[in-house]
Amino acid sequence: MNLPRIAVDAMGGDEGVRVMVEGAAIARRRHDRFKFLLVGDEAVIKAALDSHPGMSGASEILHCEDVVGGDEKPSKALRRAKTTSMGLTVNAVKQGLAGAAVSAGNTGALMAMSKLALRTMPGLDRPALAALLPTLTDDDVIMLDLGANSEGNARNLVQFAIMGAAYSRIVSGRERPRVRLLNIGTEDNKGTEDIQEAANRLRAATGLALAFEGFVEADKINRGECDVVVTDGFSGNIALKAIEGTARFVTDLLKQAFSSSIRSKVGFLVSRPATELLRHHLDPNNHNGAVFLGLNGVVVKSHGSANAKGVANAVEVAARLLEDDITNRITRDLAELGDLGGSGSAAASGTAAT
């Protein structure tokens, strides 16, 4: 397949150009058909490319020195969309200069710029931020919304389920991904009116390419018992940060325990294969690449602190979504939904929770 170029915001993230270019180079070594539009300071990018000779023939540089700050308000960043590396990266997708955009910059700014430039797909009220999370099984679980919207009604939750299932079919290969709504209990009578209504609509929509299996509690998200977890952006963002915080707590606790005495250090050497497996499983770089689903174009958000391996994974997520045509998948699934999506408040808009 002749894969479209992937636009990379080379100035975004904690480490900036060096890590973003190195990550793109790693992805290129894994998949030699990848080509890039690197957006940022040309002199700095060229210097970084010197360490990756194989990237020169596969990359074009779009010069830009202006950068969106990590703590910059989305409204302010939006006014500078035409002059910043992030804005030009997203705009490259709008103009057809690239098939997908990847940035490790400010999440709220990236969401605002992407919504303005690419617009929400017909039939959808709001886009959602989705990410892959590790589970006890070999398969990751997709969770959305993780902060693109601070709230969501029943109609939004149903649409999020459709988008998440379409994404899951790409990464898991399941024809009917198992979908559950995040709730405070698994009993049918638990949850808010919106959660209850969304569940009823999903149960009634038997023609969708998903298997709705009711509710899931937060402590079961990583058990591998479902493929897609659906929630509003406020709850999703809290749940995600709790999971990430717990993962860091566990790894830090193990480091502390294994360095507390000579006996503990010997124990570490004995158990090192197991602890390395745990470290690999909990490393966020191995699951890097959140996706703004529901836009007329592919935009992938890399974690700001991601290393080069993490950036490479984010690039690969973008490429896979392009290859499997995620936008058309969602369009077809929405057509199957028909009127079961309900009227809801289609014009409602929530502010980003991230």
Q: Which of 128, 312, 138 is nearest to 236 (CA)?
A: 128
Residues 64 and 27 grouped into a single domain: yes
Q: In what helix (H) or strand (E) does residue 299 lie, and over which residues does it extend? A: strand 298-301
Q: Note whether residue 308 is domain-resident.
A: no
Question: Who contacts 230 (Cβ-Cβ below 8 Å, separation ≥6)?
Answer: 143, 144, 157, 160, 161, 164, 179, 180, 181, 182, 198
**2 and 50: one domain?**
yes
What's 139's DSSP letter? S
Q: Which amino acid is at 3?
A: L
- Determine which helix (DSSP H) or strand (DSSP E) holds 293, and give its type and residue range: strand 290-293
Residue 109, both tokens: 């700014």
pLDDT of residue 21: 94
Domain containing 94 — which CATH number? Answer: 3.40.718.10
* Residue 193 domain-assigned (yes or no): yes
181 domain residue, yes or no:
yes
Query: For residue 92, what pLDDT is reported?
Result: 96
96 and 222 together in one domain: no
Total number of domains in the chain: 2
Token pair, residue 260, equals 């507390």
Alpha carbon distance 225, 178 (integer Å): 8
Separation CA 87–CA 111 (nearest Å)? 11
pTM: 0.84
In-domain check, residue 300:
no
pLDDT of residue 258: 65
Report the pLDDT value the prediction gives residue 230, as an integer from 0 to 100. 96
Bin 47: left if φ > 0, else alpha if -120 < ψ < 50, else beta. Answer: alpha
Which of 81, 102, 118 is the last residue before a domain boundary? 118
19 shares a domain with 62: yes
Q: Residue 280: which domain range?
A: 120-293+324-354
Whether residue 276 is found in the same domain as residue 157:
yes
Shared domain check, 189 and 103? no
**What's the count of helices (H) and strands (E) in the chain, helices before strands?**
11, 11
Residue 318 domain-assigned? no
- Give me the pLDDT at residue 202, please: 93
Claim to verify: residue 39 and residue 140 sit in the same structural domain: no
pLDDT at 11: 92
* Burial of 280 from C-beta contacts in 10 A (0-12 / 13-18 / 19+): exposed
Residues 197 and 345 in one domain: yes
152 and 105 within one domain: no
- 134 and 241, same structural domain? yes
Strands 36-40 and 6-9: parallel
- Is residue 107 located within the same domain as residue 255? no
At 241 the pLDDT is: 84
Q: Is 66 exposed, middle or buried (0-12, 13-18, 19+ CB in 10 A)?
A: middle
Domain boundary among 77, 101, 118: 118
Query: What would the two tokens of residue 41 be?
Result: 């300071």
Q: Is position 301 within any domain?
A: no
Over the chain (354 residues), what is each successive 10-residue block's mean pLDDT? 85 88 92 92 93 89 92 90 94 94 92 93 91 85 88 92 93 90 90 93 88 93 92 89 79 72 60 53 68 94 88 92 89 73 44 52
DSSP 204: H
Q: In this predicted structure, what is the pLDDT of residue 347?
A: 38
Identify whether 313 is part of a domain: no
Domain assignment of residue 108, yes or no: yes
* Of the candidates 316, 246, 327, 250, the residue with the CA atom closest to the CA atom of residue 287: 316
Residue in the structure block whose two tokens are 């509710």:
215
- At residue 344, the pLDDT reads 43
Query: Same structural domain for residues 331 and 279?
Result: yes
**Last residue of some domain: 102, 118, 134?**
118
* Interatomic CA distance for residues 311 and 286, integer angstroms: 10
Can you give the pLDDT at residue 237? 86
**What local confidence, expressed as pLDDT, does residue 353 receive?**
54
